[in-house]
Amino acid sequence: MEARLFTIPASHPGIAAALMLEHKGIAYKRTDLMPVISKVALRGLGFPRQTVPALKIDGDKIQGSRSIARELERLRPEPPLFPADPAKRAAVEEAERFGDERLQHPIRQLLWWTIKRDKSSLRSYSEGAKLGVPIGLAVATGGPIVALSARFNEANDETARSAINALPGMLDKVDGWIAAGTLNGPELNVADFQIAPSLGLALTLDDLRPAIEGRPAAALAQRVVPNYPGHTPPILPRAWLEPLRGSAS
C-alpha cells in the first residue's frame, strides 16, 4: 500500500489521520504544507477541497479526517477503528462527529487568535515539520500567512470568547463519554483518535491547560498524544478566562 498524508504542522485533524494510519499499521509518507499555501497546493495535487488532512492512498485521494477513517477501515479492516456492535458503533460515531464538527474548530480559532497576537510561538508548533524549507525561514516569512489564517478561520475576539465559554461544556461531554466507555476504553477507536488531538492542542495553550488538567479528558490526551507539538504561554485576557475557573475536576 502506498500512502502519503498531506497535513499542516500541528494540525489536530492531521494528527488524527496520522494516528489512524499508525493504528492500522499502514506505512506512509508525510508532507507538511504551510497554512494558506496548503489550499493552493491541495488543489494543484488534485484534491477537491482545500483542507488537510488529505490522503493519497494507492492512487486514490481522500480528504477529511472522517472520510479518511472510513477509507482506512475499508482498505484494512484490522485492527478496527469502529466497534462491531451497532449500538457501540453509533455512540462512537456520535462522539467522532462531535470531535470533528464541534470541538476542532473553536480550539483552532483560539490557537490562531494567540498566534496573531504573538507569532513567536509559531516555531514551537512547526517542530519536526517536513515543510521543504527551513523552519526558521517559514516562521520569519509567516506574517501574512498568520493574518490570513486568522481571517479564514474567523479567529477574532468574539469567536475566541465563545470558544472559551464553550470549552467547559465540551470537556464535560468528553468526560461523560469516557465514563460511559465510549472513549478511552481498552481498545482505542476512531473517536479517541479524532478527539484526543484537539485536547492535545488545547493543552499546549497555558491559558487553557488548568481547565483540562486533572480531568479524564486530559488522561485521554496523555495516552493518545503525549508529545503534542507546540506551546503558547499565557496571552488571553484574564477576564475572558473567567468561565474556565472551577472547570477542572
Ligand X SMILES: N[C@@H](CCC(=O)N[C@@H](CS)C(=O)NCC(=O)O)C(=O)O
Binding residues (CB under 6 A) for ligand X: these are: 8, 11-13, 35-36, 38-39, 51-53, 64-65, 100, 104, 108, 149
Closer CB to ligand X, 145 or 241, in the complex: 145
Closer CB to ligand X, 43 or 223, in the complex: 43
The three three-digit cell numbers of residue 62, written as one number: 481522500
**In the complex, what is the shortest distance from the CB of residue 180 to ligand X, in angstroms, rounded to a whole number?**
23
**In the complex, what is the shortest distance from the CB of residue 4 to ligand X, in angstroms, rounded to a whole number?**
16
**In the complex, what is the shortest distance from the CB of residue 198 to ligand X, in angstroms, rounded to a whole number?**
10
Integer-rounded Cα Rg, in Å, for the chain is 18
CB 38 within 8 A of CB 9: no
Closer CB to ligand X, 64 or 168, in the complex: 64
SS3 11: coil
| Continuous segment of H or E residues that includes residue 32 | strand 29-32
Closer CB to ligand X, 83 or 197, in the complex: 197
**In the complex, what is the shortest distance from the CB of residue 249 to ligand X, in angstroms, rounded to a whole number?**
27
Closer CB to ligand X, 125 or 177, in the complex: 125
The three three-digit cell numbers of residue 118, written as one number: 504573538
CA angle 49, 51, 56 (to 5 degrees): 75
CB 177 within 8 A of CB 217: no
3-state DSSP percent of the chain in helix, strand and coil, to 5:
60, 10, 35
Closer CB to ligand X, 31 or 38, in the complex: 38
DSSP 146-160: HHHHHHHTT-SHHHH
**In the complex, what is the shortest distance from the CB of residue 108 to ligand X, in angstroms, rounded to a whole number?**
6
**In the complex, what is the shortest distance from the CB of residue 39 to ligand X, in angstroms, rounded to a whole number?**
5
